[in-house]
Structure 1
Amino acid sequence: MTNTVTEIWRHSIKAHGRETLEQVTLTAGQALPGDRLWAVAHEEAKDADGSEWAPCRNFTRAAGSPQLMAIASQLNDKTGELTLTHPTAGQITFLPDGNASAFLEWVRPLVAENRPAPAQLVRAKSRAMTDTPYASITLANLASHKAVETAMGQDLARTRWRSNIWFDLGEAWAEEAWIDREVQIGEAVLQVRERVKRCMATTANPDTGERDAETLKTLNESFGHQHFSVAAEVVRPGRINLGDPVKVL
């Protein structure tokens, strides 16, 4: 068991890519820096101009377009440029806060034909476009991931879960006992608020974008729920590095 941080991930555009980090500095009341800064509003969006948080129904998501799961990303924090790569779409580098028309053209073929087309890249002006109505960070337990793998009888990429901070508690679902408790990770303290209910996005392979794993069926039939990881809110700022200890206060 390694009750320490093993991985840190951010997803600069909601549902469009992931990037691994070695360290991050958290701010109270905010999501992980650079995570879900932008989201892709589709043509049927009702309330997603970026001026305030909006629910995920307004955005293009991997739950309905599994090819989005195969996007990898890299955000240049100095220049603001974002590079996205995909096994069939290739690579694109652009300024999300500039003219995003090239990105919209690049990503459009990855959106399922039966889903509303991407229309606008919006930036979260006040807080990240997380799935929760508060700025959350998702905490994931490697032991729970291994339990799902065992139940399914197949290896699963951890990036299916699109979680932010990973560690290994040695016991599956032990993180669910953290609800309403505070957890210190490195210098930062987070209050765990809820379990994260999972969607169809997790059924897609992050390398190919093809659905190849019945994750939701396995969660429901083997564990009696459809949750994986917990959502937490930063209550004390601080730096987190790979290898930092994780402990319940």
Structure 2
Amino acid sequence: MPQLTAITRFPVKGLGPDRMDAVGLQAGKVLPDDRRWAIENGPGPFDADNPGHVKKKHFLMLAGQAELARLDCRYEDAGQRLSVAVDAREAVTVDLEDATTHAPLFDRLAGLLGDQLRGPMRIVSAPGQAMTDIPQPHISLINAASVRDLAARTGHELDPVRFRGNLLIDGLDPWAEFDWIGRDIHIGDAVLRARDPIGRCAATSVNLDTGERDIDLPKALFEHYGHTRCGLYLSVEQGGRIAVGDPVLLDGTGATA
């Protein structure tokens, strides 16, 4: 039977992962604190007085700034603090909700990204709106077997975190998750509905250890499968606690391999 093998959030869009053993989901919401914040790459259309979803091109992101993968990030729920180090140097720590603390982080990012910055940076957030690539409050799921199948076909070792998914499951046949669209998935106390496959962009081509683009994964997906999709968007239909090791049940009766 498939199981949930990892829970991951990315508190700041484009920056590193924060792995969790368990989390409580709420109906109609994203994974708590996933992409809650984003860093503007120069002045953009985000309106702090009327905050909402803004297209990803206005923010720092792996698809545009691959060097962000070199950042070692540590997120603390208490105080909403983020510690960031570059290439094992001393970390700087900021309170993501306190703009007066952000200058040291911006200095590090300026040194890392140079002329890739289009102007002054600003950390932004919108209550109730995650800074994901889509406006809908969805959670993303990755099938580890699909990633292994892609790795085998390309001859390239692939860390599933490249796909920046929230939920990693294992114990399913490769690509079987695409057959789940429109169906309910029970994990722990929560019920999620599979909505849409996730189209992939250049962010997946970035090596998370080196910050370099070492393989064109959208191109590889198309060459081997005739599409550029990997993973599913899910909506939370019934909130509840989920934990690593939970079985994944399709329509409440068990997922088929």
Q: TM-score, normalised by structure 1?
A: 0.93
Give the aligned residue type for 2:231.
S
Change in Cα spacing, 1:174 to 1:53, as seen in structure 2 (3 Å) is: same
> What's the offset of the Cα at 1:248?
1.3
Tell me, yes or no, if the aligned pair for 2:24 and 2:239 is still in contact at 8 Å.
yes
Q: Distance in 1 between matches of 2:167 and 2:176?
A: 15
- Mind listing any 5+ residue stretches in structure 1 that lack a counterpart? none
Aligned residues: 248
> What's the offset of the Cα at 1:83?
1.5
Cα offsets for 1:9-50 (capped at 9, x unmatched) = 110001111111111111111111121110011214223547
Secondary structure class of the residue paired with 2:92: strand
Percent same amino acid at aligned positions? 31
> What's the offset of the Cα at 1:205?
0.7
> What's the offset of the Cα at 1:239?
0.5
- Mind listing any 5+ residue stretches in structure 2 that lack a counterpart? 252-257
Q: Distance in 1 between matches of 2:96 and 2:181?
A: 35
Range moving further from structure 2, 116-125 or 239-248: 116-125
Change in Cα spacing, 1:190 to 1:86, as seen in structure 2 (3 Å) is: farther
Within 5 Å, give how 1:83-162 maps onto structure 2. 83-87=83-87, 90-98=90-98, 99=100, 100-111=102-113, 113-114=115-116, 116-117=118-119, 119-162=121-164
Cα offsets for 1:132-173 (capped at 9, x unmatched) = 111111100001000110111021122111111001143111
Q: Distance in 1 between matches of 2:197 and 2:119?
A: 30
Range moving further from structure 2, 140-149 or 165-174: 165-174
Q: TM-score, normalised by structure 2?
A: 0.90
2:79 is the alignment partner of 1:79: yes
Q: Distance in 2 between matches of 1:90 and 1:205?
A: 22
Q: Distance in 2 between matches of 1:112 and 1:135?
A: 33
Q: Distance in 2 between matches of 1:54 and 1:177?
A: 31
Cα offsets for 1:190-244 (capped at 9, x unmatched) = 1121111111111111111011122121101001111111111111100011100
Secondary structure class of the residue paired with 1:217: helix
